[in-house]
């Protein structure tokens, strides 16, 4: 799966997790761009992605992510080739 495809899937998840009607998500989107993205909804965000992609993140893998692009690349690396 390409990073673009993963970002598109993440965008769908974000609408549900942050409970917003529309969200313009790009690789550069970060927590600063979404009001509803706080520490609690971040946990929901991560576990929703884990469930969707059938992966499990290590804390260290997601501790220093800056934006959705970083996140998509971590997910891409964990997906079976």
Contact residues for other proteins (CB under 8 A)? 16-17, 19, 39-40, 43-44, 47-48, 51, 58-59, 63
Q: Which is nearer to other proteins, 2 or 39 (CB)?
A: 39
The CB-of-2 to other proteins minimum distance in angstroms stands at: 26
> What is the enclosing helix (H) or strand (E) of 51?
helix 39-53
Q: Which is nearer to other proteins, 14 or 68 (CB)?
A: 14
Q: Which two tokens stand for residue 20?
A: 């917003």
Short-list 23, 19, 25, 32, CA closest to 4? 25
The CB-of-17 to other proteins minimum distance in angstroms stands at: 5
Cβ count near 32 (within 10 Å): 8
């Amino acid at each position: 799966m390409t990073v673009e495809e993963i970002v598109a899937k993440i965008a769908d998840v974000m609408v549900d997790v942050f409970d917003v009607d529309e969200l313009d998500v790009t690789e550069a989107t970060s927590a600063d761009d979404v009001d509803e993205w706080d520490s609690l909804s971040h946990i929901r965000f991560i576990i929703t992605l884990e469930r969707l992609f059938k992966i499990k993140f290590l804390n260290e893998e997601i501790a220093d992510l800056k934006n959705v692009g970083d996140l998509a690349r971590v997910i891409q690396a964990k997906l079976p080739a």
